[in-house]
Amino acid sequence: MLLSRFRGALLGALVGDCIGAVFETRMTITVGSVLSFLRGLENNWKKQGRPGRTVLMYTDDTAMARSVVQSLLTKPPLDEKDLAERFTAEYFSDPDRGYGMGVVHVFEKLQSGKYQSVFTPAKEQFNGKGSYGNGAAMRVVGIPLAFPNVPDIIKYAKISGELTHASSLGYNGAILLALAVHYALQGVNLSRESFLEHLLSNMQEIEGDEKSRSDAVELELGEFPYCNRLKKIKEFLDKGNVPRCEVVEELGHGVAAFESVPTAIYSFLRCMDPVDDLPKEMNSLQRTVIFCILLGGDTDTIATMAGAIAGAYHGEDQVPELWRKSSEGYKDAEDWGKQLWELYSSRLPS
């Protein structure tokens, strides 16, 4: 397995968050406005002979992904108490990173020391239904970079998700994203069709359990919501040039995991090919991040998730130096990519 894919996944996630955050919550975003923003970054760099002083700050997506990676590297295989402590300490040391409205109550409860189990606060969210936000998925990239096999990825993506997202819609979104990064690490050895088939087959089993069925029905999403969206992705790819408004209408661009994780996966697959209104010289990873931003809505989170998959697939060479070096904490992503690659390699069957 190539080191470049591990660093690519972390760097792709980082630049997706940092650039996407500039546009988060805007509903209409033009190609011109994104390209003009990127030109501004470049001009700044040229003037100073290095990336501009205005570093693009990462948001809660990366803050939490960093905690997951640090925990995986220091407390293997995964220590839920350590991870809960890291999330909480990170939030209280730097609360203005744009966290979800609900998840901060989990950190407050964890901080209070009144709970015996670190999973209880998440179970109390939203009147006991648990969160279905995309916060478990947006931070999960470290898990598929630490574990080479599917059962471990499913197990640990679920545990890490359940610390804040007790709804199966929330943690299943994290599992799906983690599996997408896992299959993307295989690179061109896996066709677009097989990539989707693997995800569908894994999710059929995961969404078949009783809690997944009842949570989905209760939200009136129908059973197997992630599987149904994976089928929609296949339909869109077969069709070719689906307008972005249709992507938003069918797959979503919202803060719910089921309205954003499939969108990120589609964006990655769609942007393997050129996109009509994006500059021809852009590579697939650049197209992926910009395509996600152009969908509007939860741009930082959709771009970070798609950036993680694209980086795992295409490798770090597709992350432009300007984007990388303008993003806060890029050196950590490079270093931790290498450490995760070593950990993953040590866990491969000999």
Please pick, from the candidates 37, 79, 126, 200, the single residue that binds ligand F2R as defined by CB under 6 A: 126
Residues 297 and 138: their CA atoms lie apart, in Å, by 15
Residues 228 and 232: their CA atoms lie apart, in Å, by 6
Q: Distance from CA of residue 103 to its chain's centroid? A: 17
Phi and psi dihedrals of 298, rounded to 5? -85, 65
Stretch that binds Mg ion, among 84-92, 103-111, 152-160, 189-197 (CB under 5 A): 84-92
* Cβ pair 15, 328 in contact under 8 A: no
Q: Is 90 an interacting residue with respect to Mg ion (CB under 5 A)?
A: no
Q: Which does 135 bind (CB under 5 to 8 A by kind): ligand F2R, Mg ion, none?
A: ligand F2R
Residues making up the chain, counted from first to last: 350
Range 6-65, binding ligand F2R (CB under 6 A):
24-25, 59-61
Q: 52-62 b/e with 16+ CB inside 10 Å = b?
A: beeebbbbbbb
Which amino acid is located at 322 in the chain?
L
Range 253-282, binding ligand F2R (CB under 6 A):
255-256
Residue that the structure tokens 């590579």 belong to: 283
Shortest distance in whole angstroms from residue 165 CB to ligand F2R: 6
Q: Is 129 an interacting residue with respect to ligand F2R (CB under 6 A)?
A: yes
Beta bridge partners of 327: 56
Stretch that binds ligand F2R, among 28-36, 244-252, 295-303, 340-348 (CB under 6 A): 295-303
Number of residues that bind ligand F2R (CB under 6 A): 25
Q: Which does 133 bind (CB under 5 to 8 A by kind): ligand F2R, Mg ion, none?
A: ligand F2R
Classified as helix, coil or strand, 133 is strand
Beta bridge partners of 183: none
Stretch that binds ligand F2R, among 79-87, 130-138, 183-191, 282-290 (CB under 6 A): 130-138
Residues 6 or more apart in contact with residue 89 via CB below 8 angstroms: none
Range 96-125, binding ligand F2R (CB under 6 A):
98-103
Q: Which is nearer to Mg ion, 38 or 264 (CB)?
A: 264
Range 298-327, binding ligand F2R (CB under 6 A):
298, 300-301
Q: Which does 126 bind (CB under 5 to 8 A by kind): Mg ion, ligand F2R, none?
A: ligand F2R
Helix intervals (H) in the chain? 3-20, 31-48, 60-74, 80-93, 103-112, 120-128, 135-138, 142-146, 150-162, 168-184, 192-206, 210-218, 225-239, 244-251, 261-270, 284-294, 299-314, 321-326, 330-346
Shortest distance in whole angstroms from residue 138 CB to ligand F2R: 6
Which amino acid is located at 279 in the chain?
P
Please pick, from the candidates 4, 11, 61, 269, the single residue that binds Mg ion as defined by CB under 5 A: 61
Q: Which is nearer to ligand F2R, 133 or 315 (CB)?
A: 133
Shortest distance in whole angstroms from residue 298 CB to ligand F2R: 4
Q: Applying CB under 5 A, which residues contact Mg ion?
A: 59-61, 82, 85, 98, 298, 300-301
Give contact residues for ligand F2R (rule: CB under 6 A): 24-25, 59-61, 98-103, 126, 129, 131-135, 138, 167, 255-256, 298, 300-301
